[in-house]
Amino acid sequence: MAKAVKTIGVLTSGGDAPGMNAAIRAVVRTAIHEGLKVKGIMRGYAGLLSEEIVDMDSTSVSDIMHRGGTILYTARCMEFTTPEGQEQAAEICRKHGIDGIVVIGGDGSFRGAGKLAALGINTIGVPGTIDLDIACSEYTIGFDTAVNTAMEAIDKVRDTSTSHERCSIIEVMGRNAGFIALWCGFANGAEDILLPERYDGNEQALINRIIDNRKRGKKHNIIINAEGIGHSTSMARRIEAATGIETRATILGYMQRGGTPTCKDRVYASIMGAKAALLLAEGKSNRVVAYKNGAYVDFDIQEALSMKKDIPEDQYEIFKMLVR
Ligand code: ADP
Ligand code: F6P
C-alpha cells in the first residue's frame, strides 16, 4: 500500500564508494523538486541510532559532485542488525518526522533497509559499492572509478616489474567478488587472474604458467589476485622459491576506494539517486534501484537480495584466450 511521504532521509552505509556524493546530491535535489523535505543522516545506521540528523537543502549538496568519499560519512553498525536496534531506528525516524529513507550502500545495507521498510519506514536502496557485487544490478556506483584507479596503479607496477624482470602479484579489492580483478586482468593485459569465483587453489599450475611464460620470453609476469583469495605476500614467497624468479606482492588496498569519481560514476549515481527519490515521492517502499539490460529499473528488496551474480563464463574464457 503506497504511503505518502513528506520528509525523507538519506544515508550512506557500508564501504564508501566514489560517486556516493553525486547520488546524495541527486536524492536531495530531486526530493526538493518533488516538494519533500530532506534530512541527512550521518554515519549510516550508526548515526541514525545516535540521532545525528541534519536538515539539508539544495545548497547542502553544492560543490560535492567531484569529491570522492561521502559527505554524510559512513559506518558499519552491529547494533542495527538486532531487532531492538531496528525498532529503535524506526522510532527515531518517526520522532524526526522521517517517513522515507534512501539507503546508498551494498547488500548488507539493503538487508537493513528491508528491515526498516517492514517497520513502516518507506525505504529505497541505491547500489553503492566498488565491488560490483549487487546481483540485481549490472552497475554499482564506485566500480568504474575503483577499477580505473586499480588499472593505473597496476600499469605503474608493471613498468618496474618489466625493468627488474620480476613476477608481480597485485591484490585488488572486491570482498568475495572478482569483478575488479577480471576487469584489471583485461585492461592491464595481466598474465593471470585469480578470482574467488573460479580459482581452484592449484598453485602448481600457476607456477607452471609462470615458468612457461619466462621460457617464451616474457620479461614480467603480472598476476592479479582478488582480495577474496588474498595471501598475496606468502604466495609471492612460494612462487619465488619454486621458480627462482624474483617475485613481489603489492596490495593496492584503500586507494581503490578513494579519489575523484569518473564521469560514468557521476552519471549513474545521479540517475539512480534521482530515481530513488522519485520512488519515495510516489509512495513506494522496499525497492532497490538497479541498472539492468540498458535501463534503470527497480526491484523488491527481498527479491533483489535473493538474486545471484557470477563472473560471466564467456568473459573468463576470453581472458584466458587473450593471454596465451
Ligand atoms: P555493504 O552495505 O557494503 O554490503 P555491510 O555488509 O557492512 O556493507 O552492511 C552495512 C551495514 O548494514 C551493517 O553495518 C549493518 O548496520 C547493516 N546490516 C547488514 N546486514 C544486516 C542485516 N542482516 N540486518 C540489518 N542490518 C544489516
Ligand atoms: O565493499 C567495499 C570494500 O572495499 C571491499 O572491497 C572490502 O572487502 C571491504 O570493503 C573492506 O572494508 P573495510 O573498510 O571495513 O575494511
Q: Is there a shared CATH topology between the 7-142+261-306 domain and the 146-257 domain?
A: yes
* CB 191 near ligand 2, within 6 Å: no
Q: Has domain 7-142+261-306 been given CATH number 3.40.50.450?
A: yes
Among 79, 64, 1, 3, residue whose Cα is nearest residue 29: 64
Q: Are 235 and 203 in contact (CB under 8 A)?
A: yes
The H-or-E segment that residue 119 falls in is none
At residue 4, the pLDDT reads 81
Residue 2 is predicted with a pLDDT of 59
Beta-carbon contacts of 280 under 8 Å, excluding residues fewer than 6 positions away, are 5, 8, 31, 36, 100, 102, 122, 124
pLDDT tens readout for residues 135-174: 999 999 999 999 999 999 999 999 999 999 999 999 999 9
For the question of residue 131 being annotated catalytic, the response is yes
Residue 290, all three cell numbers? 538497479
Q: Which ligand is nearest the CA of 78, by number? A: 1
254 Cα nearest atom in ligand 2: 4
Ligand nearest to the CA of 142: 2
What is 146-257's CATH topology? Rossmann fold (3.40.50)
Residues 6+ apart with CB under 8 A from 106: 13, 14, 15, 127, 128, 129, 131, 133, 134, 140
Q: How do residues 98-140 score in pLDDT, each as one tens digit?
A: 999 999 999 999 999 999 999 999 999 999 999 999 999 999 9
Does residue 8 come out as left (phi exceeding 0), alpha (psi in the -120 to 50 range) or beta? beta
Average pLDDT, the chain: 97
Please check whether residue 13 is in contact with residue 74, taking contact to mean a CB–CB distance below 8 angstroms: yes
- In the chain, the amino acid numbered 15 is G
Q: Best mutation site among 81, 126, 141 for ligand 1, i.e. most ligand atoms within 8 A of its Cβ?
A: 81
Average pLDDT over residues 292-313: 97
Mean pLDDT value across residues 182-189: 98
Residues with CB under 6 A from ligand 1: 13-15, 45, 76-77, 80-81, 105-109, 111-112, 115, 129
pLDDT of 324 reads 79
Domain limits, the chain: 7-142+261-306, 146-257
Instruction: Choose, from 16, 131, 133, 265, the residue flagged as catalytic.
Output: 131
Task: Tell whether ligand 2 has an atom less than 6 A from the beta carbon of residue 192.
Answer: no
Mutate to test the pocket of ligand 1, among 11, 12, 13, 175 (most ligand atoms within 8 A of CB): 13
In which band, very low, low, confident or very high, does the pLDDT at 8 lie, cut at 50, 70 and 90? very high
Residue 3 in this model has a pLDDT that exceeds 80? no
Distances (CA, A) of 306 to 80, 176, 256: 21, 17, 28
Question: How many angstroms separate the alpha carbon of residue 227 from the centre of ligand 2?
Answer: 10
**Mean pLDDT confidence for 200-224:** 95
Question: Best substitution site from 13, 171, 173 to test ligand 2's pocket, by max atoms within 8 Å of Cβ?
Answer: 173
Ligand 2 contact, 175 CB (< 6 A): yes
Whether this prediction's pTM lies above 0.85 is answered by yes
CA 236 from chain centre, in angstroms, equals 27
- CA nearest neighbour of 194 among 158, 223, 157: 223
